[in-house]
Amino acid sequence: MAEKLKLDIVTPYGHVFTDEVDEVVASGTEGEFGVLPEHVPFLTTLKIGMLTYRKGSQTGYFFISGGYSEVGPDSVTILADSAERSDTIDVQRAIEAKKRAEERLKQAEKFDQARATSSLERAITRIHVAEKK
């Protein structure tokens, strides 16, 4: 029986993380899901959210800006549009992105509102994940 899960987080910008962990919790478009070793394989889409993993007594947190997750019996592979570990998030940049998105949401005639809404969600989630260290 597999005792660990191999967690890989990959983005178009590069390989962000790889390690053997005990548990992963991620934000699927159908809701949050948890994975332990020996999980039934499945594929799902991810929404903007936080991914948490546990390795022994350590917990790690990532911002994930949506993408795909492939779960195997002893692996979790995340293919994300972008992903940052909580301690690498530039909070000031996220605050600026939040302000920019809020301004754009006030000018519906000039800016694509769906795009501004997802920018705002990314910024708010990054600020939230950055607090988890």
Contacts with ligand ATP by CB under 6 A lie at 13, 65, 82, 84, 89-90, 93-94, 97, 119, 122, 126
Cβ nearer to ligand ATP, comparing 67 with 75: 67
- Quote the least distance from Cβ 62 to ligand ATP, whole Å: 10
CB 7 within 8 A of CB 64: no
Both tokens assigned to 129? 């994940």
Cβ nearer to ligand ATP, comparing 52 with 119: 119
Alpha helices by DSSP H, 1-133: 91-105, 113-130
Residue with structure tokens 């997750």? 69
Cβ nearer to ligand ATP, comparing 12 with 56: 12
Both tokens assigned to 12? 């178009």
- Quote the least distance from Cβ 63 to ligand ATP, whole Å: 8
CB 38 within 8 A of CB 73: yes
- Quote the least distance from Cβ 11 to ligand ATP, whole Å: 7
Cβ nearer to ligand ATP, comparing 27 with 65: 65
- Quote the least distance from Cβ 51 to ligand ATP, whole Å: 13
Q: Helix, strand or coil for residue 29?
A: coil
Phi-psi region of 8 (alpha: psi -120 to 50; beta: other; left: phi over 0): beta
Both tokens assigned to 127? 């600020």
Residue with nearest beta carbon to ligand ATP: 90
Cβ nearer to ligand ATP, comparing 35 with 63: 63
